[in-house]
Structure formats: structure tokens, C-alpha cells
Amino acid sequence: MALMRSVFYVPANNPKFIEKATTLPCDIVTLDIEDSVAPAEKAAARKLAAESFSKFADLKAELYVRLNSWATELTNEDLEALIWPGLDGVTATKVRDADDIKRLDWKLHELEARRGIPEGTVKVCCLIETAMGVMNAYPICSASPRIVSAIFGAVDFCADMRVTLTNKGAEQLYGRATVGVAARAAGIVALDAPFADFSNIDAFTANTQESIQLGFEGRMLIHPSQIEIANKLYAPSEKEVEHAKKVVKVFEEEGLAKGLAAVALDGKMVDIPVYASAQGVLARWSEICEKGSPDNAS
């Protein structure tokens, strides 16, 4: 699974921002043709986005496009304009139910076939940001093998719930946790909502630490200053990596080799779930190192 610690959003109608995004250390760049682009600008944004694909071809970051929702009746035109070689994935917005994803899956399949793109190339991220979407979170997350991630969208969720968005986020807790659980159950990555108060780094950090405890492995970012912090927080710390190495070593040498299901390390029990968790930490660390940005995790 590709790293998705930092998913940086750029309005697709702004060439300067797109150019800047090619220089940033995020895991994913998402060109937005949805809410950050005015209706009159949609066509130009699609064109500029498609023309920008080549700029990202040699970068380590994956390239996604955030689509307009099916309810807007713009999605078909978005896909017709944007599904070309060079695009790694699309983000479906305001996903209501599994049928929204199945319809998208169908259209992607049809475009891949028509344009000679290998089937299944284009990945899907689901943006779950309405009460209906939260209620259908697991069916949505498991609606297509293309789905690799799900984002909890706090701003639209709060609007739909008619509640005020706060930095502490108590009003988001149910929706946020539900998306985290649904994503994990479906075997995909949970990505947290953008943090709107981007100049408040302390609040962003606290919110991100909370998000990790809810099972999120990355988040939507709306300002470059958030990228390195997210990369660091969503990566295992050196201490966690060192501990994981110890757990794996002791369990394999003292447990598995001797036919034991549990061993002790520093006075604590290490059994199969602890071993598996440590393996996960090391796998994630390995991905980060392969990507060449271990500094972000230090």
C-alpha cells in the first residue's frame, strides 16, 4: 500500500499552486476540481489538470484528482477529461452509498478500456462527508477493489449535520471514528479531514495525534506548512521502530523458534498480536525509507 501520510490539495485552476505542489514532500498531490473551483472555472480546471499530469510523472508523490459529486452532474465530464495515463487515482466526493462508487467503478472501467489504460490502474479514494455517507461507510469502503483509502470530510459533514466545526472536534467524533473503523474493516487506509485552522500548528498537531488514535494513517492537507508535520506524526517514531525491532527479534528467536506462543520483553508479554503489530510498524517504516524520506519520520 502506497504511503498516504500527507495528501495535499491544490485548486486545479491555479497553475502557480500546481507548479509549487511538484516541489513539496507530500505523499499524494490531489488536484481539486470540486469545491475550490467555481462553476464557471470547471472546464478550464479540467483542462489545466490534465495538462499538468506530465509535471508529476517523475515525482515520488502519487497524483489524484478530486471529482465533483454525482449529484452535480459534472462527474461524467470530469472523468472524460481526466482519465488519461499519468493519473494514479480519483477522489470521489460526497459519496452517499455503495452505488455511487459502483457507478464510478463502471465509468473508470469503461474509460480505461476505451483509452488503452490497463484495467484497475485508476485508484479510488472515497470522501465520506455527509450523514448518509457516514451511515453507509463500510459498504462504501468495500464497494470496489479500486478503493485504497477513505477520507472523513469534516467541513461538509458539519454542514450536513447543521453543527459548528471546532478545532477540538467533538461534533465530528462519531463520523470520524466511524470512517476510521469502516476503512480498517475494508482493508483500506483511513485519511483524516483537513484541518481548516492551518496557521494554528499546535492545534493541528494535537488534532493529528488524536486522529492517529482513531486509526487514521494520513490526512488531507490544505497548506504546505502542514506537510512535514503530517509526515512526521503519521510515521512511526525512532523509539517505536527500535521497540518493534526488539519485539520481532525476541518473538522470532524465543517464541516461534521454540514453539512458544508468548514470550516476555522488558517485563511485558509479547504474543502474536503484538508481534503482528510490530511487523506493521517495520513495514511502514520500510516504505518510508524506500520513499527516501526517513527524515520526515525522525
Partner 1 sequence: MMINKVGRSLPEQIEHYGKVTPYAGAFATQKDGVKTGARLKSFKRGEKKLLSGIREAIEKSGLRDGMTVSFHHHMRNGDKVVNLVMQEIAAMGIKDIRLAASGIFECHAPLVELIENGVITQTVTNTFNPGPVAKAITAGKLAKPAIFMTHGGRPRAIESGDLHIDVAFVSAPTCDEQGNMNGTKGKSACGYLSYSYLDAQYADSVVAVTDTLVPYPNCPIEITSEFVDYVVVVDSIGDPGGIVSKTLKVKTDPVSLQIASNAANLADAAGYIKDGMSFQTGASGASLAAAALVRDMMKERGIKGSFGLGGIHSYFVQMLEEGLFKALFDTQCFDLVAVESAGKNENHMAISASLYANPHNRGAIVNYLDTVLLGATEIDVDFNVNVITGSNGVIMGASGGHSDTAAGSKLTIVVANLTRKAICVVREKVTTVTTPGETIDAFVTEHGIAINPLRKDLLEAVKDSGLPIVDIRELKAKGEEIAGPQVAQEFTDKLIGVVEYRDGTVIDLVYQPKGYEFQQQ
Q: Which parts of this chain interact with partner 1 (CB under 8 A)?
A: 70, 73, 76, 80, 99-100, 102-103, 105-106, 109-110, 114
Residues 6+ apart with CB under 8 A from 126: 91, 92, 95, 101, 140, 141, 147, 149, 150, 151
Nearer to partner 1, 111 or 229 (CB): 111
The minimum distance between CB 92 and partner 1, in angstroms, equals 12
Residues 6+ apart with CB under 8 A from 238: 297, 298
Nearer to partner 1, 55 or 103 (CB): 103
Cell of 263: 514470550
Report the sign of the C-alpha dihedral through residues 205, 210, 211, 217, in that order.
positive
Indicate the Cα dihedral angle 41, 75, 30, 13, nearest 10°. -10
Nearer to partner 1, 80 or 252 (CB): 80
Cell of 176: 470520524
Nearer to partner 1, 34 or 105 (CB): 105
Nearer to partner 1, 71 or 260 (CB): 71
The minimum distance between CB 57 and partner 1, in angstroms, equals 23
Cβ proximity of 63 and 56 under 8 Å = yes
Cell of 59: 515525482
The minimum distance between CB 144 and partner 1, in angstroms, equals 10
Nearer to partner 1, 4 or 108 (CB): 108
Q: Please name the amino acid found at residue 99.
A: D
142 backbone dihedrals φ, ψ, rounded to 5°: -110, 20
The minimum distance between CB 106 and partner 1, in angstroms, equals 4
The minimum distance between CB 87 and partner 1, in angstroms, equals 16
The minimum distance between CB 99 and partner 1, in angstroms, equals 4
Buried b (16+ CB within 10 A) or exposed e, 266-280: eeeebeeebbeebee
Cell of 31: 488536484
Distances (CA, A) of 5 to 27, 200, 217, 228, 251: 6, 19, 6, 10, 29
The minimum distance between CB 76 and partner 1, in angstroms, equals 7
Nearer to partner 1, 50 or 248 (CB): 50
Nearer to partner 1, 27 or 100 (CB): 100
The minimum distance between CB 116 and partner 1, in angstroms, equals 12
The whole-angstrom separation of Cα 136 and Cα 87 is 27
